[in-house]
Amino acid sequence: MGSTSVPFYLNWTFWSFLTAGLALLLSQLSPVLSWFRQGRLDVEVYSFIHLTHKVGNPNSQLHLLISNVGGRAVKVKNVSLEFSRSGAGQFTLPGLNYLQLPSDKTNILLTS
């Protein structure tokens, strides 16, 4: 009387191991895929700009909504506005501060 071996596809231990391995693989698929995605910014620009000057120092206020829609973290190091007139030279105003949330009352300095 020889012992008959059960084929692997009829063994419940095999199927439980395969199901657990597949569940583990699927649960980690989304975090692993985010390693390979680039960071991507979505920028919405408000339709108006506020221009002023104080003793020859030009100032501007431009409302931007910047959100990260990519897979990785993105760091915004600087923002600048470039102005030009027909027949005149260009000049650039660097971004100096920002509001993290629209409801904030104090500005945050824009530094690297």
Q: Has residue 1 got a pLDDT over 70?
A: no
pLDDT score, position 21: 94
Q: Has residue 2 got a pLDDT over 60?
A: no
Name the pLDDT band for 17 (thresholds 50, 70, 90): very high
pLDDT score, position 16: 93
Cα-based angle 3, 4, 9 (whole degrees, multiple of 5): 145
Diameter over CA atoms, the chain = 106
Q: What is the pTM of this model?
A: 0.57
Report CA-CA distances (Å) from 29 to 36, 37, 74. Answer: 11, 13, 22
Average pLDDT, the chain: 85
Name the pLDDT band for 11 (thresholds 50, 70, 90): confident
pLDDT score, position 40: 86
Q: What is the pLDDT of residues 43-98, one digit of tens each?
A: 999 899 998 988 988 888 888 888 888 777 888 888 899 988 888 888 888 888 88
